[in-house]
Amino acid sequence: MHELLPSLKGYTKKQTGRISLSVKSSTTERKHLWQAAIKWPLYSVAIMPVIVSAGWELGNSGNIRLGQFIGFLIASILILLWENLTNDLFDDETGVDKYKFHSVVALTGSKTTVSRVAYFSLLLGLFIIFILALKSKITVLFLVIICCFLGYLYQGPPFRLGYKGLGEPLCWIAFGPLATAAALIVISPKSNFDAIPWGTALIVGSGPAMATTLVLFCSHFHQINQDAAVGKKSPLVILGTHRAAEFLPWFVGLIFLLELLPVLLGIWPITTLICLISLPSGLDLIKLIKRHHNQPERIKNSKFLALRFQTINGLCLSIGFAISSFFYN
């Protein structure tokens, strides 16, 4: 995460082309780099489908299976850890992270270690999902495996669909209907879904998943030149920063449309309108990108503004679902 990066002072460029820590780098600088490499704020995107689904279930039945809920949260974090670490590995292969000195691969200097940690996290996460599936529906395991496969398609060879401008659709599918459907089945107190609840998952998960996709979209602004240099056709490379900045208000507007339309149609309770609390964060993001879309140093925090918007939006929507039982039952 680039807002945590220190200055380049104390770094040297090896003959391999990778920027690495010099022996003079301070402990504080190294700590900041590790904070950036771990990407801990991004784990909000992993847990949000579970939290929103829990809010929806509380509003409808007044209860969730707490142990299942906690287990799914932990598994989601572990699986996203695998995704983040393998993305660092794949970026190292393609050269995208040539100057990404907060890459875990750069900090550890060992691809083998990073790979082992990544796949251990994946296996542990899937094992937890397997246990949860045994207590609900085995379908959950298959839904999560599909999510993982989509995550691999994003960066993994030979597909690398993220290099073809398809990362955002993959993100929406994985964090939207797939993850939401799995979470709904797992935390339901009755496990009474005879079939995958696609309809509910689509309505409940579309808006929050679009907010998660917004985080990915905004992560490209500051690195458009590096992406273009290695042939990565992100949406920003395809559109250019100016057109992408013009598109952003429509992007944010679509998120709110997906969350307000069910209220207007009487599908969701009016309490879910508290998701509008996230509107100022969305406007801050739009203003920043509109003013500085072609200035990487000024725009490098846009991902975090998008993440703030995504987190507030999802939490408020979940709360809106949960408290509806106090007003409508």
Q: What is the mean pLDDT of residues 185-213?
A: 89
User: What global pTM score does this model have?
Assistant: 0.85
Amino acid at 148: C
8 A C-beta contact, residue 286 and residue 249:
yes
Q: Per residue in 1-25, pLDDT tens?
A: 333 333 333 344 333 444 444 444 4
Structure tokens at 322: 């949960």
pLDDT at 24: 42
DSSP H helix total and E strand total for the chain: 15, 2
> Which band of pLDDT confidence, cut at 50, 70 and 90, is reported for residue 170?
very high
CA distances from 249 to 36, 303, 321 (A): 28, 15, 26
Instruction: Please tell me the number of Cα atoms within 13 Å of 186 on its side-chain side.
Output: 32
Residue 114 banded pLDDT, cuts 50, 70, 90 = confident
